[in-house]
Structure 1
Amino acid sequence: MTILTTQRLRLEPMTDAHADGLFAMNSDPEVMRYITGKADTRDDTLAMIERVKARWLEFGFSWWSFVELESEQIIGAGCIQHLGRDPANPLEIGWRLRQDKWGQGFASEAAEVMASFAFDTLKGDLLCAVCHQDNKGSAHVMKKLGMQYRGIERWYEMDTAVYDMTRAVWAARSDDDLHRDK
């Protein structure tokens, strides 16, 4: 199972040891507002961890817990998974953060390293992201990552805004970043 790191985060594959931190985040109705529309119970969070652990074993990727390096606290979670949880579909990237960490660039930081994993390690050809149509924060992260708006589609029992990016666009973006740094 792959641990990813950024300047401020360590992305660890979800385990039982993350239950308290994940439950603290998932039980916040504002965090879950655009995801399920209701706060998770502790049992919901424990069931999620079990599903995620099984997907790590089956696919070699799934959800990570975001551990802030400075505090060693879980401040978020994110994934690379199959869109709609169906291996016939392209890869999907997603994230959520504790409310006190919104607007500080953590989602974008994590999204960069997860997208790199999807394209460079998993060799995905297409990476999608979905969000509730009113979730302007997530849509902003998707655009900042370089994804393009595709339209409204039905995923996860709701009409969602869908964004995507091809591996070629990711590679060109990465090449642009390299040239800009020189």
Structure 2
Amino acid sequence: MTILTTQRLRLEPFNDSHLIGLNLVNRDPAVMRYITGKPETLEDTAAAIARVKARWAEWGFSWWSFIELDSEEIIGSGCIQYLGGDTANPLEIGWRLRQDKWRQGYASEAARRMAAFAFETIGGDRLCAVCHQENTGSARVMQRLGMQFQGIERWNEMDTAVYMMTRGEWEHPGQAG
């Protein structure tokens, strides 16, 4: 399991010691508004950690906890996974942050590092992201990463905005790939 680092964050694969920190993020209704529409219980978070640990074992990648280096606190989480959990689908990137860490560049910082992992370590040819159509903050992170809007598709039981980028677009930003 791979630990990633950025200037301000350490991205650690989910483990049991992250339960309380992850639940603090995922129990906030504002954080979950566009994801599931409801806060997570402690049991939900524990089940998610178990699923993620199994995916790390199967795929070699999944969800990381975002640990702020200055405070050593979990301030969010993010993933590289197969869209819809199906290996026939493209790789998906995703993230969520504690509300007090919004609009500080953490999501973009983590997304850049996870995208590099997807293209350079996993060797993916393309990377997609989906978000609720009203989640403009997440869509801005996708755009800053260099992803292009593809349209509206049904994922995660909702009509989502889909963004995509290819390995060529990642390696040569600003050029058609």
TM-score between the two structures when normalised by the length of structure 2: 0.98
Counterpart of 1:130 in structure 2 is 130
Superposition pairs for residues 1-182 of structure 1, below 5 Å? 1-173=1-173
| Gap runs ≥5 in structure 2 | none
Measure the CA separation in 2 of the matches of 1:154 and 1:126.
Answer: 19
* Partner SS state of residue 24, structure 2: helix
* Partner SS state of residue 173, structure 1: coil
Runs of 4 or more off by more than 4 Å in structure 1?
none
Measure the CA separation in 2 of the matches of 1:34 and 1:105.
Answer: 19
Q: CA deviation at 1:153?
A: 0.1
The percentage of counterpart residues that share the same residue type is 71
Measure the CA separation in 1 of the matches of 2:128 and 2:28.
Answer: 26
Q: CA deviation at 1:161?
A: 0.2
Measure the CA separation in 1 of the matches of 2:40 and 2:74.
Answer: 16
Q: CA deviation at 1:18?
A: 0.2
Deviations 1:86-118 (A, max 9, x none): 001010000000000000000000000000000
Equivalences, count: 175
Q: CA deviation at 1:174?
A: 9.4
Measure the CA separation in 2 of the matches of 1:114 and 1:23.
Answer: 22
* Partner SS state of residue 172, structure 2: helix
| Gap runs ≥5 in structure 1 | 176-182
Q: CA deviation at 1:173?
A: 2.1
